Amino acid sequence: MRTVRTFILRLLVDPAEPDALRGALQPVPEGEAQPFADEQALLALLRRLTGRRQSPPLRVQTKHPLSIAFPREESHEYGS
């Protein structure tokens, strides 16, 4: 059975290092915000919080440091 997990993602931007990915990830509705210092730490945190291991892998696209592609887990159909 598939589940949907909701998180609040806060990105912190340092004007001296605008391409650095830093911030905090907080599970919703309950959970403490947990900081991360780079892309790999964010991916590791997501894996840990969702109970996922290495498969299927999350892909970090190198064109833009904030482009993170997640494998599709389910499709939502809206409307009637």
- The pLDDT, as a whole number, for residue 21 is 92
- What does the alpha-carbon distance between residue 16 and residue 70 come to, in Å, rounded to a whole number? 29
Confidence of residue 2 (pLDDT cuts 50, 70, 90): confident
Question: How does pLDDT run across 27-72, given as a tens digit for each residue?
Answer: 999 889 999 999 999 999 999 998 876 545 445 555 555 545 555 5
| Short-list 39, 11, 13, CA closest to 25 | 11
Do 19 and 65 contact (CB within 8 A), yes or no?
yes
